Amino acid sequence: RCVVHWFRTDLRMDDNTALSAASTLAAAKTAAGEDCSVIGLFVISPQDYEAHLMSPARMDFMLRSLKKLKKNLQKLEIPIWVETVEKRRDVVGRVLELVEKWGGKHVFANMEYEVDELRRDEKLILQGIERGISVELRQDTCVVPPGTLFSQASGKPYSVYTPWFKTWLKYLRENPYLLDLPAAPSANPRSTATTFADLFCQPSPTNPLPLSEELRETQLTLFPAGSRAAHQRLQHFITQHLPTYHKNRNNLTSNPPTSVLSPHLSTGTISARTCISHAYLANKNSLTSDPPNGPSVWISELAWRDFYRHILVSSPWVCMNKPFKPHFASIPWPHSPRKSAALLDAWITGQTGFPLVDAAMRQLAAQCWIPNRMRMVVASFLAKDMMVDWRLGEQYFMRTLVDADFASNSGGWGWASGTGADAQPWFRIFNPQRQMCEWDPKEEYVRRWVPELGRLDQGQIVSGKGLQGEKARRRLKYPEECVVHGDARKKAAEIYKTGLEKGK
């Protein structure tokens, strides 16, 4: 007898709503005299990874986290079975087959809100009913579950962050239990070791998306995986950076002033609930402060993660390669496919001739992670300066980031390109030179990632003086600026307006 918990983007043992519920049910059955074990299941679905542009760095992080999870679960005699299912259409059938094979009648899982995943779970529930298996899905990944908040004025879901955030805070204050952590699972009955002996000795799964040796080394150093590493990072952040987060979070220092918990939050080795609970405590049991301080601003940043998941549920077309504002689907991108491809290539390889953009794109290629400010700068640059369809950038981020997360990435690109959930459409254009003056005034970041500028005197990059003229750039072996930034606002306004009219 068993209860199965299907792990997805919740690779942790503690503070896991569905796993906790699975364990409670199994314990109740055992108490009633029916030895009942919890079995963990994880499905590797190569076709899904291909369709969803899974990045090898995220895959690597996920498998490393899975290994740690397996060890932790073993301490409670809970086995975890990892199954590779080549065709995505076979996933549900195979899961139910395994549950039947293990003598289970119950499957628990935490909900995922992307359209494909919702469809998969609908199939799971329906086919489960046919086979006499009950499927229980729990809300876990957001602090406030999607589908809960509606604008009082219109009765519709929100489309702009600020009013949504006010309601989110109010809802959380009125329902403080949402920050309570679910109970940790209890140990399986002793009989599990013999009844399910073969599940404990499964060899490591094959990685369908292996990383290059060099990148793997970098990932191991920069992003230790598993829940323990996540909690260590959280503690370090809380003591070292949280108090000054509101002032420093955009600074481009070599030791990031932010939590760098995003790979953990995307893979679920830590929950947003745990992060917010800690910030709440650090803020003397408050979610906000006036004036804003480190913990309150960090909470508001974590809320963006909830916000974009709420958007996914209220506007599911964003999962289908369509902008949040559908009338922006027809922007007439001005370049030929060839020119677009050349510009995209310059952007990806960090050869645009704009030091800050190039630094960020090279960091992204080398580390599979960049700070939030840099994500905004390079996304705005691709969509509004280069005028390349922002969806190509969105896809590149998904295929590259170690923390790639569909909702946050799609939301971030929508925001930066002016087609998303934001009150400002096309006229927010980041000036890469000004951004560099503001966030990298000592040129540490650009010099680290664009070493060919190292021959310039201090201050010459930020002032732009060292890069004036073709000759200077040729001497440094650094490319000419691929576009004229000064024209961006006018041109972006033109094409976005045309897109708007076409889309009406």
CA distance 435 to 356: 8
- 12/29 with CB nearer ligand FAD: 12
Instruction: Provide, rounded to whole angstroms, the least separation between the CB of residue 413 and ligand FAD.
Output: 5
Name the minimum Å distance from CB 262 to ligand FAD.
3
Q: Nearest approach, Cβ of 397 to ligand FAD (angstroms)?
A: 6
Q: What is the DSSP pairing of strand 37-44 with strand 2-7?
A: parallel
| 161 is an annotated ligand-binding site residue | no
426 is catalytic: no
CA separation, residue 358 to residues 171, 339, 352, 364, 378 (Å): 42, 19, 6, 10, 9
User: Is position 21 annotated in a ligand binding site?
Assistant: no
**Greatest extent of the chain over all pairs of C-alpha atoms, in Å:** 83
Residue 3, C-beta contacts closer than 8 angstroms, at least 6 positions apart: 22, 23, 25, 26, 29, 36, 37, 38, 39, 104, 106, 107, 108
What distance in Å separates the CA atoms of residue 141 and residue 211, rounded to the nearest whole number? 27
Q: Is 305 annotated as a binding residue?
A: yes
The site for ligand FAD (CB under 6 A) is made up of 249, 258-262, 265-266, 301-302, 304-305, 308, 371-372, 375-376, 379, 397, 401, 403-405, 408-409, 411-413, 416
Map residue 434 onto helix, strand or coil.
helix
Is 260 known to sit in a ligand binding site? yes
Helices (H), 241-371: 245-248, 262-267, 272-282, 294-314, 337-349, 355-367
Residue 261 annotated as binding site: yes
304 is catalytic: yes
Q: Which of 390, 415, 426, 449 is catalytic?
A: 390
413 is catalytic: yes
Cβ-based nearer residue to ligand FAD, 49 or 397: 397
Query: Smallest distance, Å, CB 372 to ligand FAD?
Result: 3
Catalytically annotated residue among 77, 83, 136, 301: 301
Catalytic residue from among 248, 333, 481, 494 = 333
The span from the CA of 466 to the CA of 396, in Å, is 31
Catalytic residue among 347, 369, 413, 426: 413
Catalytic status, residue 390: yes
Distance in Å, CB of 252 to ligand FAD, minimum = 12
Q: Annotated catalytic, 470? A: no
For 116, counting Cβ atoms within 10 Å of its Cβ (0-12 exposed, 13-18 middle, 19+ buried), the class is: middle
- Does 333 participate in catalysis according to the annotation? yes
Which residue lies nearer to ligand FAD by CB, 355 or 412? 412
Q: Residue 258, annotated ligand binder? A: yes
Nearest CB to ligand FAD, comparing residues 411 and 499 = 411
Q: Name which of 187, 114, 179 is nearest 146 in CA terms.
A: 114
Residues of each annotated binding site for FAD:
245, 258-262, 298, 301-308, 403-405
Residues catalogued as catalytic:
301, 304, 333, 372, 390, 413
